[in-house]
Chains A and B, each alone.
Chain A
């Protein structure tokens, strides 16, 4: 065991040769640049954000809980308690830090062992291998996840995140960890992803709040070291600020609490019996799906293409690359030079290669169609009944088997661009 440890240490030394500093969380450059626009933040303001984030969350080697005493308001949410409700801190400790064995002999430092080379130390989806991958690894820092059972921007449930780690994402570099790591290791990583996500969301809000401050003003969150020691005027100012802006930090915790308790998941009605491929009426059900897919009620072909090649609407950006939409080369170069991955456009799913990133399990596909895919451009089927959605599920699973008849597009428009 000891030998293995030193082996990891050696790799660590080779990888980080020359840098004695432990790895640090990086700023969200996109959020910062978008917030400051043409008026750069003062170095004091930037330092304040770093300090608040460290006080709340610690460092990659030494994670922390949000500081309860300093940031607790009588009527506000106790950040520490709210965080504890959503994230198991023992899991965060186990997943964080360098790869090692903990006191009980269990593997620790799981995030750096399995995830950070793609998803990055900060969860920015920008690890060393990220630039070579298509699609890019997920950036966790805005709390948006594509493949989940909850509606709209609602956060994923624990089960949703667990399933992604367990099953992987077909057609991407995300592997399935089902047999590679234990159940408790997967659970620890779910908690660490949530930790990075909440940290990232709070960072975004802090940049956005700083955008409304003057150059000589400071983030009000940094001065209440101890709320009780403030004078009346300071308390008043802080209270007003909290009501107006600080409430947004509170809502991040609340969103995650809601997802953990899972009331936001609307379970569909069971698929009708003719969903089964062996049922006599199945062909009619597929025809119904096709009619919705191509007709006005679904209009899926507008993006997924006449014959499902995923070539109906190209050149769109997902929310992680949205900052580049409509911008000129110089603007984009400014971001890329600051360390942001070069922006990429996304394509709608090509149904003729048979792969589904969120899984081809009918229930998964039902959620994709009914709720849409958050972060991508895929809208939710707000006006369709559950039965109509099931018909679409059956149909899209079957498109790859469908013969393209005359008069319809035989080949993808952008043969080489399809992924």
Chain B
């Protein structure tokens, strides 16, 4: 049984390679996925952060990024990613350039920028310090290889290997500025996104076919009751969303509604 499985792995890999080598041989179809996260309910006022040191280097006034909802309900910083596929999925050539470059997590004005970064195991995480005060980047993971805590002097950067797949975004903190917090999601497949200030996201060039996705938000964890077109699409404890990506088309989930209670800070 097992050997059969391995043969199958090899075959799919072979097909993937073949696809890039000569696009005419077996045509892999690709499709896009998009949507917009919207919160139902009156958004709470932004929570102010009061830094207690290095004020000259800080962004002021400073607000918490745990929950950012736009005026028309758009939910920022939702992480959308593909659940680990049961067999390897091909990667569209358009990702090649991005996969060969570092992913930047900057420290500017005593804040991590951006708040959530998504990357693959093939990439390096470049943590840069653009401030004139010292920072560190304490990356906390279950996985040893993804756990780091380098000191990053003003104006310098450090490249970190992130070779292990994470099941959800992991935390990055700066310990000399207790309010500084960011998240990193590390996956094998490059098919992931973070929703913008308007709540929108788009993942381009997914291999056509059925895939399972997960939506994650900082306060909520996996979003378990996301609904689209009047139907709850994320199922179960880990919020699995089964979608059929059609080749040559954009699968549009439209407005994905989230109840305010689910994304409010719990404690």
A235 near B267: Cβ-Cβ < 8 Å: no
Known: A74-B2, A75-B2, A212-B237. Is A299-B147 also a contact (CB below 8 A)? no
**How far, in Å, is B211 (CB) from chain A's closest CB?**
15
| A93→B48 CA distance, assembly (Å) | 55
Q: Is B150 located at the chain interface by the 8 A CB criterion?
A: yes
Q: Is A154 located at the chain interface by the 8 A CB criterion?
A: yes
Residue of A nearest to B83 (CB): A244
A255 near B144: Cβ-Cβ < 8 Å: yes
Residue of B nearest to A302 (CB): B176
Q: Is B55 located at the chain interface by the 8 A CB criterion?
A: no
- Of the candidates B140, B150, B236, B238, which one forms a contact with A380 in the assembled complex, judged by CB atoms under 8 Å apart? B150
B267 near A239: Cβ-Cβ < 8 Å: no
**How far, in Å, is A367 (CB) from chain B's closest CB?**
14
Q: Is A39 located at the chain interface by the 8 A CB criterion?
A: yes
Q: Is A240 located at the chain interface by the 8 A CB criterion?
A: yes
What DSSP secondary structure best describes chain A's contact surface?
loop
**How far, in Å, is A248 (CB) from chain B's closest CB?**
7
Known: A38-B266, A212-B237, A379-B149. Is A248-B142 also a contact (CB below 8 A)? yes
Q: Mark B1-19, 1 if CB is under 8 A from A, else 0.
A: 1100100000000000000
A152 near B5: Cβ-Cβ < 8 Å: no
Which residues of A are found within 8 Å of B175, using beta-carbon distances? 303, 313, 316, 377-379
Residue of B153, B155, B156, B266 with most chain A CB atoms under a 10 A cut-off: B153
Size band of the interface chain A makes with B: 35 or more
Q: Is A281 located at the chain interface by the 8 A CB criterion?
A: no
Interface residues of A in 44-79 (CB under 8 A from B): 74-75
Residue of B137, B141, B236, B237 with most chain A CB atoms under a 10 A cut-off: B237
B147 near A205: Cβ-Cβ < 8 Å: no
B267 near A328: Cβ-Cβ < 8 Å: yes
A380 near B151: Cβ-Cβ < 8 Å: yes
Q: Is A13 located at the chain interface by the 8 A CB criterion?
A: no
B5 near A296: Cβ-Cβ < 8 Å: no
| A302→B141 CA distance, assembly (Å) | 25
B237 near A152: Cβ-Cβ < 8 Å: no
Known: A211-B237, A315-B178, A316-B175. Is A152-B142 also a contact (CB below 8 A)? no
| A189→B25 CA distance, assembly (Å) | 62
| A153→B178 CA distance, assembly (Å) | 21
| A38→B267 CA distance, assembly (Å) | 11
**How far, in Å, is B179 (CB) from chain A's closest CB?**
10
Which residues of A are found within 8 Å of B151, using beta-carbon distances? 298-299, 372, 379-383
A-B contact pairs, 14 of them (CB 8 A): A154-B144, A211-B238, A248-B142, A296-B155, A302-B53, A313-B53, A316-B175, A319-B140, A331-B267, A377-B149, A379-B150, A382-B151, A382-B158, A383-B156
Which positions in B face A, CB cutoff 8 Å? 1-2, 5, 53-54, 84, 86, 132-134, 136-138, 140-144, 147-156, 158, 164, 167, 175-176, 178, 221, 236-238, 266-267
Interface contacts beyond A298-B134, A313-B53: sample of 4 additional A-B pairs, CB < 8 Å, sorted by A: A214-B236, A214-B237, A255-B144, A298-B151
Which positions in A face B, CB cutoff 8 Å? 37-39, 74-75, 152-155, 204-205, 208, 211-215, 232, 235-236, 239-240, 244, 248, 251, 255, 296-299, 302-303, 312-313, 315-316, 319, 322, 326-328, 330-331, 372, 374, 377-383
